[in-house]
Amino acid sequence: MAAAPSSPGPLRPDRPSVPFGRGGADRHRTRAALPWPLWGPALAGLGLLVLPVLGLVARADWVRLPELVTSDAALTALGLSLRTAAASTALCLLLGGPLAVVLARGRPPGLRVLRSLVLLPLVLPPVVGGLALLYLLGRTGLVGRYLDLYLGVRVPFTTTAVVLAQTFVAMPFLVVSLEGALRTAGDRYETVAATLGARPWTVFWRVTVPLLLPGLGSAVVLAFARALGEFGATIAFAGSLAGQTRTLPLEIYLQRESDVDGAVALSLLLVAVAAVVVVLARPRAVEGAR
């Protein structure tokens, strides 16, 4: 960046506004002292989060591990998990993306209530969510009975049900983190685009979405991770049919009864996937989801 403008006048040729590394630690800086009693609970908390994974690693049968994670049942469950998690992530994006934009930019009536409703699945036990889905879409459910009656469609205990259960649980993560990103970014660029004559749809695709891409990436990863680990809502709404609805978490739960080594091996597989997700999505997703 050495090119100086040939323009006249005392224009400063080069003063790039690139910040010095984000949040980079400055070793010269001191802070207000931390009260020492915080250290004990902090370390205990960290231990509670990290040590169980170590326990899992210690318990694993590393010799049989390759064989265990490549068993038919394991591969079937893993394949189903990846497919359904991908499908539900796509569904989250398709429905949750617009929902986040409407919540952040629109002025829907009862915005506060709507936002609380979106948060509901975050705090609801997933099993309850699964039951709720069952009584909405089940054969005798509120909507399900008509689907069955008029269209002959039965949703529960199918792969579709798995996807819906995962979407139900994962979408709030995407909506909350996207909405946070949108609010942080503000609408100044969109306003400028409008004064340049861009129609709302043009503004959305050429300004809102590109500016949102970094936040979108981590929101998607977060939603995918949540969908991949989904258990409670899935087992309540979709059951545990091998190859159809038995995802990896369900398979682990089942194998725990018969083959502990297998369950541990598959657990490690999910830990590995989670680790990749955390590396990819941290820390923005965590900040966005606060």
Closer to other proteins at the Cβ: 148 or 187?
187
Instruction: Decide if 196 contacts 114 (C-beta within 8 A).
Output: no
Kindly state the smallest distance separating residue 132's Cβ from other proteins, in Å: 40
Closer to other proteins at the Cβ: 11 or 25?
11
Kindly state the smallest distance separating residue 89's Cβ from other proteins, in Å: 24
Q: What does DSSP assign to residue 34?
A: P
Closer to other proteins at the Cβ: 3 or 32?
3
Instruction: Decide if 103 contacts 111 (C-beta within 8 A).
Output: yes
**Cα-based distances in Å from 61 to 40, 64, 133:** 33, 6, 38
- Cα 35 vs. chain centroid, distance in angstroms? 35
Residues found in the chain: 290
Kindly state the smallest distance separating residue 216's Cβ from other proteins, in Å: 13
Closer to other proteins at the Cβ: 198 or 280?
198
Nearest to 190 by CA among 200, 180, 178, 175: 200
Kindly state the smallest distance separating residue 105's Cβ from other proteins, in Å: 14
Tell whether omega for the bond before 283 is within 30 degrees of 0, i.e. cis: yes
3-state helix, strand, coil in the chain (%, to 5): 70, 0, 30
Kindly state the smallest distance separating residue 284's Cβ from other proteins, in Å: 16
Closer to other proteins at the Cβ: 3 or 34?
3
Closer to other proteins at the Cβ: 182 or 269?
182
Instruction: Decide if 166 contacts 227 (C-beta within 8 A).
Output: yes
Q: Residue numbers of the site for other proteins (CB under 8 A)?
A: 1, 3, 5-18, 188-189, 191-200, 202-203, 206-207, 210-211, 213
Nearest to 222 by CA among 282, 159, 160, 268: 282
Kindly state the smallest distance separating residue 24's Cβ from other proteins, in Å: 17
